[in-house]
Every structure is written in C-alpha cells, then in structure tokens.
Structure 1
Amino acid sequence: MRKIKKIHKAAYAPMDDLVTYRAMPTREVEYIDPFLFLNHHGPQVYKPGNRGLPFGPHPHRGFETLTFILEGDIMHQDTGGGKDVIEAGGVQWMTAGRGLIHAEVSSEKFKKEGGPLEILQLWFNLPAKYKLVEPSYVGLQQDKIPTVTEDNGKVRANIISGKWGDTEGPIPSLSDIHMASVTLQQGGSFTTSVDAARNVFFYVVRGAVKVNGETAEKLHLVEFSNEGNEIKVEALEDSYLLFGHAMPFNEPVVAHGPFVMNTEQEIQEAFRDYQAGKMGSWE
C-alpha cells in the first residue's frame, strides 16, 4: 500500500463573486512536483444576466493548465490561435510553453441564461528543457474522452492523458503525466498501482472516499509519500475525484503570478518578453 503523508483541506479563496477553494498552494502544501496548483471554482448557481467567469486576457509561460468543466462552460481564446467553447464534462489542456495570452470566460449563452457552474483548473510544471516550447491548446468535449468502467459499472474513469490499463488518454503529455477524473457510486471501489518513484495527485471534488484505509472528504487533497505502490479507493458515498501521477522533475521552481520558471532571471525575462509583445497581442 502507498503510504499517505497527510490529507489537506482546500483553502477558501473567493474571487469576486466566484466561489473558489484552492487546494494548492496552501500554508500546508506548496506543490507536489510536478503538480503546482489547483483551484476549485464553485459549485454555485449564476443568475440570468450574469458577468460569468472573471478570467479575462492574461499571459502564461513555463507550464501547462488542465481545466475540468463539471457544470457550466468555458469560452477559451488565446494568441496561439486556440478558440472554442467547452461544455460540461469536457476538458481543456493548454501548454503555455514560451508564452501566450489567453482568456477563459463564460459563453454569451451562459451569461444570458445563467445556471450551475463548477470548474477545476490544475497547473502542471514543465521541465527546463520544455519551458520554451511552442504553445498549444486542446479542447475536448465529453464525448471525445475515453471512459473505463470498473466494479460492475460503479466506477467510471475518464482518461485524459497517459494510460489506465490498456486505455490511453487522447492528450499526449510532454512529461508523461497521467491524468484521469473518476466518478464512483457509493460502495464502488478500484485498486491501482503507481510506481513508488512517481508522485501521486489525488483530490476529492465531491463525496467522500476511503483511500488506503483513511477517509478523505470533498475539498481535500491527499498527499502520498513515495513508499509503496498500491492505491485502493472505496466510495463511502457518491463521489468524484481527480487522480494522476508523474515522475517528479526535481528542478528549482520560481513562480511569479502567471509565469513559472527555474530562476528569478527567467521570470524577469518573461515579464520583459510579455511587455515587448513577444507573447502575442490581444485584439
């Protein structure tokens, strides 16, 4: 069994009228290499005639984002040419690489009609050798994400990158990051094995589960040690969680706002390049 180091509660960190819980970084856990950051927005209900998500144009460099749309939608646009609307059940994976400007806002339909909204955004670091790769973006609606069922259908895993058994996720990861979202019915369970050298990312979005003998409820991040391989999960109630794993990079992390690099000098270069228009210009 993989040993659990600690279970951390996400910090309440609202953004204007957007309910937000931040699972990383917090005072207790800075990051789980190469998983850097997780914001959990919602759940909440927006009234008709709302302003929608507040994430207007802003730059990024040196990392990747994976956004899960549980309810509501996101209209994405970036200076690399990416543009679409992803609806509930879909995901967005953006490699910022050498830098771009993007916006993540609600569609005109959502702002007009309102409705429930719940969105999670996870940041992955990029290793030094990939910090300045060409930016890219992939948006997938729910029907484009392969699903694996276990325990007579009580467990459904949506495979985004890497592998789950013989099923491969549709998004190739530069850094061999394996990511899935998992829905469990009460009483449903699964067991998986992750090499002890790899770091595990495990966040309970909804419900409550027993994982390797310990209870983890919604809005909690489970931090594992690097001892043992097996991870056994049983749903104490209907639950939804994010589950992933990756080899740690073991490189220095210097983060400043929208940029994540290896040195302070690289951060200053990022600001200069952004101000000089090298990450594109927003129309």
Structure 2
Amino acid sequence: DVERLIPWVFKHHDVAKANCTRFWPKEKSDFKDFFYHFSCYRAELDELDPVQIPLFLKPDEKVTLPRQNWKTPGRAPQFLQSQGMMLKVLMQTMILSKTFRIIALNFSKLFSLFYFPVSGLKKRYVIGGKRYASRPEGAVVVESQGRSVPIMSDVGWLEGQTSHDFLAENLSIMLGQLAANVSIDHQDQGVFTLGLYGSCIYISRGLFPTSQMAKVHSKGCSENEVFHLRFSRGYNLSLSKDWLEAMHALSRLLRYLMRGNAKVGAIRTHMSSNTE
C-alpha cells in the first residue's frame, strides 16, 4: 500500500530539489502541492538544519507550560501558519488517496468525517483550577457528538527553539487535544501530534491515564509530576528513503486510528454510537 504513496519525484530521484514541482507531470499530481509548500518553507530555513530530535531531547526535562502558547515570545505567526498549511496538505493528500479510501471502507465510516482545519482550533484545559489554552497550527478533526474534536494536532517549529520550548509547545497542544477528547469520553487517552523540526517531520504520542487527568485537573501538577511523551525520529521529506519511512509510520498510525479501537475519545465515542 505504501508504494502508492511514493510521489513522482521519488520515482526518478533520491532527493527532491527545491524546483522539483516545475517539472512535475500534471497527470501525476499526488503530493505536488505538498512539495510546493515544502520548497517554500525550506527556502526560509538557514542552510543547516538542526540536529536530529533524539539527540536534541533529554531523557527527562522539567517544563513550564505557557498559559496561551500562541503568545509566547519570539513566535513568527506567518512562518508557523505556512507550516500548518504544509502539514494539512500532506495529511489531506494521504487520507484522500486511493490507498486510504480502501482502508477506510474496510475498517470504518470515520473516513467521511475527517477534515483538516488550520484555524479556529483553540482548545482550553485546566490545571489546578487555572485556565490554560493552546492553539495548534492545524489538525485532523472528526465530528463526534456534534462537536469538532481533533484526533491529531500539528505542531510548528521555530529556529533556535530550545528543548524546553519544544517540549512545552508539544505538551500544551497535547493537553488541549486531550481536554477536547476527554470531555466526551472519560477513559484513558492517547494523544498524537504531527510536527516539524527543520526539514523533518516527526510523530509524537502521549498517554494520559484517567487517574492522572483527574488529579492534575483539580489539584494541579506536583513537583514530581511526570508526563510520558514519545517521539519518533525525524524524517527528512526531501530524501526518498526518509519519505518512505515516514509514509510507513503515518500509515501505521492512520490504520490504528481508522480501525476504531484507538484510545482516542472522539473515535471511541463515534464507534460506540454506530454500534448502538
């Protein structure tokens, strides 16, 4: 199946150059729009991309969550918005491809409910009685119980971002997505994000048990409060080998979500309502 997600450029080249869309055949249009946005984005980066994510992150780090992540100092709104649009085009192209149409028909009716907004995504959450809010750069959203609920959020990146800022941004967006899902399904939750780091994309996952959610919501975070986040390696989408590995990773995640047994509130609620 993943072979169908190989774009035209990687059937002829190992590296997607900045001008690759100029020569892209009209009849092979899948992912052409993504590579146009990707080339524009890369043109704004410095010559050297940052180090790989596993080398950048520490095994554990104490972070301070922003009360509103879009108001943190040093943000570049237009640069982040361009990242959100790029990730939207990537996920939209994947999910609307023939490969995932077949998967969706086999596993669930969720396929017809997916959409991909890049605005109006502010989500609020409470820690120890204090209100916080986060706003991702985009999301994969489903309708569940009359609400628009994200099942995967997009996380942007800024040059010079420290590991603390990187983790705080990811966690704040995860907690906003978590609050939206737990409001309709009071069970343990898995939260997924898709992010950019230089020329690479990565997938992150957080697992949040109900006991921890209830305690943090009412009493706040203790000094030794631990949230377990896992990050994939970064996949440089200008390289054919990395592209293929990224498609494998995203395909596995989408299959997991589309089967309907994921620990994600919006999906569980949708599936249970369909079986009643």
TM-score computed with the length of structure 1 as normaliser:
0.27
Which protein is richer in strand relative to its size? 1
More helix by percentage: 2
TM-score between the two structures when normalised by the length of structure 2: 0.28
